[in-house]
Structure 1
Amino acid sequence: MLKVSIVIPAFNEQEHIVNCLINATRQSLMPYEVIVVDNLSTDSTVDLVKAFIAEHPTLPVRLEEQDTEQGLIPTRNYGFSKAGGDILGRVDADCMIKPDWVEIVTQIFTDDPEAMGATGPAVYYDMPAKRVGLKGDQVVRENTYRADDNQVLLFGSNMAIRHSAWDKIQPFVCRDKADIMHEDIDLSLHLIDQHLKTVYSSRMITGVSARRMDTSFSSFRNYMRRFRNTFEAHPSHSRKHNTERTLYALYPALRLFYPVYQKYLDKMDIDPAERIWLKEQIEIAQHAAPTDKSGD
């Protein structure tokens, strides 16, 4: 069976990192390893990860610290270099992967030996109407998150690549010192450069935070410009659809509603990251629990 490593770059993620680890290890198929790569955090991220490891010594979680250079790309690269799995999963520290994520990822790469990268949709766990939101995200990612001749682009919050594919593209991926590109799209375009197949699966689901919408318009606009910047850095590639147009259209309403909904969650003492996959986690735990035959 293929071994799946999960790499989680982290910078000042004390609010989410514990729930992220809980979801990464409450899986129907346990990952080979879960690697948190801290990147010069100044909050309690490192202490929380160390405490989680101490409290769960049997779980395959470990901490690595990339303290040479600030940035997502060097931190991601460092994590990939430390991973020993056949498949390298990559999620953000605010992501809550679905309890069958590792199992689905394993199936994708087992069933399709030519698949070198895989991605899927996201559900926003700190917003209401999650089913509607998931369906909307599926439509956008399945139909517009493409390059060239309908090649799938990987989504950094929910992606996995074969270790062998990473070995091929690692020398070529952009370092982006100016920090103006989308590192996941850059990685995807380098996979395409090497004629490596990328696939989309609607079953490969992760929960993400909508906190990106809770930023000023100038900050949001700069983030959206990363799409254009990335393709301009790769002039041999093109796209038919500008995914950011959909996000621009959603921004005004979500920018107003997001903080209001967070106040509601706080008032009701609801932790959405803790609850997003609770039902599925309970079902997995019940299925795994041994049957009590003491009354026989």
Structure 2
Amino acid sequence: MTDTEPRVSIVIPAYNEESVIRQCLIAAVYQSVPAHEIIVVDNMSKDRTASIVTQMQQEYPESPIILLRQDREQGLIPTRNFGLDNATGDILGRIDADSVVEPDWVEQVQKAFEDLSTSAATGPVVYYDMPMRRFGLKADDKMRQLMLKLAKHQYHFLFGSNMALRRSAWETIRSETCRDERDEMHEDIDLSLHLADHDLKVQYWPQMVSGMSARRLEDSPRDYRYYVTRFDRTYKAHNVKKMALKAPMVVFFSVYFPAKLLRAIHTVNTSQPVRRGGQ
């Protein structure tokens, strides 16, 4: 990394993520361009999340893995804010604890911000626990391109599992972001709308790829519906009424049952024991 390239922090909010946090950190460590820092913010986890991060620090002493604890209040938004506030990079990356970023993720984030007018960037995701992953990545990319087109390029939405903000942009919107104490909104859409309020450009960067789990599909139809309708509640909280912004809701509703079936088939297939000859 040269002195002219921006330093990229990776912030990972975590609550009871012992099953996924190790693979998340391994992907963040093995980057073509090293991250300036990799910050895990533990939000009062009751499992081994924090101890696994501590173990990773010992296993990878040359890597800038930092463990912070946010124990003042429960919730993703205060935990996310705490991490972004304490990050020291020029670009503040933000992923989830079940994210597995591609090996060139940091490098692609730097490229996305070479355009000095870019205040934030986001990219597509590949669901690593679903079949036909590369096809799924292409479909996800096309879906996000379509949503950008439908919104007539006035809005592009950050995706919490795969996003980055210029530090100056975060400092601009920090005090305005919604606390959402009733946990009714999409926090990443809230960030996007606050950026739009300040005419801060959100760049969609297709090469900035992160893997994530499709575990949301394990939700019941009722819970999944509540998750998807967070879009509508977020728009209402911001008094946004553009019909084009309904596109994500329609897409998420339409893919639930087909994707749930595919995930079930994939789970069955991958859990089958390998049959050996003569058995």
* Change over 3 Å in CA distance of 1:203–1:268 after alignment to 2: farther
- Root-mean-square deviation over aligned CA pairs: 1.5
CA distance in 2 between counterparts of 1:19 and 1:58 reads 18
Q: CA deviation at 1:202?
A: 0.8
Question: Secondary structure of the equivalent of 1:116?
Answer: strand
In the alignment, what sits opposite 1:167? Answer: 171
Question: Could you report, residue by residue, the CA deviation over 1:191-219 in whole angstroms, capped at 9, with x for unpaired residues?
Answer: 11111111101101100111101110011
Q: CA deviation at 1:239?
A: 4.7
In the alignment, what sits opposite 1:135? Answer: 138
Q: Which amino acid aligns with 1:181?
A: M
Q: CA deviation at 1:237?
A: 5.9
Q: Superposition pairs for residues 151-190 of structure 1, below 5 Å?
A: 151-190=155-194
In the alignment, what sits opposite 2:254? Answer: 249
TM norm structure 2: 0.92
CA distance in 2 between counterparts of 1:103 and 1:67 reads 32
Question: Secondary structure of the equivalent of 1:118?
Answer: strand
Q: Which amino acid aligns with 1:176?
A: D
TM norm structure 1: 0.87
Indicate the percent of aligned positions where both proteins have the same amino acid.
Answer: 46
Q: Verify the 8 A CA contact 2:94 2:164 in the aligned structure 1.
A: yes
Instruction: Indicate whether 1:106 and 2:110 are aligned.
Output: yes
Q: Which amino acid aligns with 2:110?
A: T
CA distance in 1 between counterparts of 2:38 and 2:81 reads 15
Instruction: Indicate whether 1:125 and 2:154 are aligned.
Output: no
Q: CA deviation at 1:141?
A: 1.0
Where structure 2 has 5 or more consecutive residues not aligned to the other structure, the ranges are 275-279
* Change over 3 Å in CA distance of 1:39–1:268 after alignment to 2: farther
Q: CA deviation at 1:84?
A: 0.0
In the alignment, what sits opposite 1:27? Answer: 31
In the alignment, what sits opposite 1:261? Answer: 266
In the alignment, what sits opposite 1:7? Answer: 11
Q: Verify the 8 A CA contact 1:153 1:185 in the aligned structure 2.
A: yes
Q: CA deviation at 1:265?
A: 2.3
CA distance in 1 between counterparts of 2:266 and 2:155 reads 36
Q: Verify the 8 A CA contact 2:155 2:192 in the aligned structure 1.
A: no
Instruction: Indicate whether 1:17 and 2:21 are aligned.
Output: yes
Selected match of 2:85 from 81, 84, 97: 81
Q: Verify the 8 A CA contact 2:108 2:208 in the aligned structure 1.
A: yes
CA distance in 2 between counterparts of 1:250 and 1:236 reads 25
CA distance in 2 between counterparts of 1:13 and 1:220 reads 20
Q: CA deviation at 1:257?
A: 3.1
Q: CA deviation at 1:235?
A: 0.8
* Change over 3 Å in CA distance of 1:138–1:268 after alignment to 2: farther
Q: CA deviation at 1:148?
A: 6.9
Q: Verify the 8 A CA contact 2:28 2:38 in the aligned structure 1.
A: yes
CA distance in 1 between counterparts of 2:151 and 2:172 reads 20
In the alignment, what sits opposite 1:54? Answer: 58
CA distance in 2 between counterparts of 1:141 and 1:202 reads 9
In the alignment, what sits opposite 1:233? Answer: 237
In the alignment, what sits opposite 1:286? Answer: none
Where structure 1 has 5 or more consecutive residues not aligned to the other structure, the ranges are 270-296
CA distance in 1 between counterparts of 2:268 and 2:52 reads 25
Question: Could you report, residue by residue, the CA deviation over 1:2-48 in whole angstroms, capped at 9, with x for unpaired residues?
Answer: 00000000111111100000001110000000000011111111111
In the alignment, what sits opposite 1:292? Answer: none
Selected match of 1:116 from 106, 115, 119: 119
Question: Could you report, residue by residue, the CA deviation over 1:114-133 in whole angstroms, capped at 9, with x for unpaired residues?
Answer: 10000010111101111111
Q: Which amino acid aligns with 1:217?
A: P
